[in-house]
Amino acid sequence: MAATVILEPADRCCWDEPVRIVVRGLAPGQPVTLRSSLRDEKGALFRAYGRYRADGGGELDLARAPALGGSFAGLEPMGLFWALEPEKPLVRLVKRDVQTPFTVELEVLESHKPEPQRVLGRAVHERHFLGPGVRREPVRAGRVRAALFLPPGLGPFPGVIDLFGSGGGLCEYRASLLSGHGFAVLALAYFRFEDLPEYLNDMHLEYFEEAVDFMLQHPKVKGPTIGLLGFSKGGDLCLSMASFLKGITATVLINSCVANTITSLHYKDMTIPGLENDLGKCTITESGLLDNTDSWNNPLEEPNHQSLIPLEKAQGPFLFIVSEDDHSWKSEFYAHIASERLQAHGKVRPQIISYPGAGHCIEPPYFPPSIASVHAVLGQAIFYGGEPRAHSRAQVDAWQQIQTFFHKHLDGKKSVKCSKI
């Protein structure tokens, strides 16, 4: 092999950190193809490639050299990561065990030809989900089923509860990465995990109240309040938690509904019915994917407004992260309903950050955009929306915005360190 692949950081870093890729030892102006590959825990293969040309000194620095084509084009220093595509269609890259890294192999191939070429250089990079010193503690406290992530140090740390959507299970990768930025984060399961209900039927807010109490009583959690981070169905649950439960002062919602969705929500003697969706209004894309954009009933119309969550009762500020190409539901429309309702009740206007070209599934940075995949519960191929390049940029920015919001309202800090690449 004639070329040397230099990575910075050299061998490993966290998944949400950028890595600098430089190739040396090439001929001046030499055309090469860079290829990345990764296998998930189930053995599914993901690949990306970019065509490049070395500079006059025989060096290729992805921070300065634009891709001339391939899985992406233009100046994309992290394109070999965010553009990873599954070998088998409709497979979504998720991290199931955060205690092990993803291993990404990078290869430098001779020329731009599409057929297999001679390998000129190779490097392996470990992408971890537990930062240095971050601790993972399984939680089986009362009814609560979760995993708690604690940053290095004595603490106490600002606390956050993290909820995912209607796929169920215990999703830990976002919580583990966020903990690396100074937060005690509880990844909370609420169905399809261990002895929790198998399906989303009649949710009870008391379960989530128990999780809040667990966090506020934990010696490593700063208190006297915590934050909430919710995506999709997990977002409207966070809205309900902020509206009815004590001890919550900062709530971040990623492409969420302003109404309670899917199933009824109970708390003490109160019931909020689930906003219904009319499957007859779903559309099918040219690729045969299910598009849910227009299937949900308007929560402002009778009798749907009974499903609206009284978020004006919440004590703290809101951050709505919304995607303008969300094909799961009209998240931008919902965020503006929330804003108008809060202002009508004399509350502070929420912060709304809107991302053109982004789809429903906003993940931590450098995850390949999930434009479509088979839903874990429905078993159907769902179209989530999004243009890969715009979606990838949205994920990087949203991650910084989430940290800034929580540091400001839970920890009194004004800003966070941004990525250099």
**For residue 281, what is the DSSP state?**
G
CA dihedral 180, 183, 184, 190 (to 10 degrees): -90
CA atoms within 13 A on the CB side of 398: 33
The helix/strand/coil state of 222 is coil
Q: Which two tokens stand for residue 17?
A: 């950190």
CA atoms within 13 A on the CB side of 323: 34
Active-site residue, selected from the candidate residues 36, 71, 232, 307: 232
Cβ-based neighbours of 193, under 8 Å, separated by 6 or more: 145, 168, 169, 170
Distance (Å, whole) CA 47 – CA 39: 9
Examine the residue annotation and report whether 236 is marked as an active-site residue of this protein: no
Active-site residue, selected from the candidate residues 181, 327, 360, 409: 360
Percent helix, percent strand, percent coil in the chain, to nearest 5:
20, 30, 50
DSSP string, 291-326: E-TTTBPPTTSTTGGGGB--GGG-SS-EEEEEETT-
DSSP string, 34-87: EEEEEE-TT--EEEEEEEEE--TTS-EETTTPPB-SBSS-BS-TTHHHHT-EES
Q: Which two tokens stand for residue 145?
A: 């089923």
Contact by Cβ (8 Å): 162, 229:
yes
Contact by Cβ (8 Å): 83, 16:
no
Examine the residue annotation and report whether 360 is marked as an active-site residue of this protein: yes
Active-site residue, selected from the candidate residues 236, 240, 326, 328: 326
- Angle among Cα 231, 234, 240 to the nearest 5 degrees reads 125
Task: Please identify every residue annotated as catalytic.
Answer: 232, 326, 360
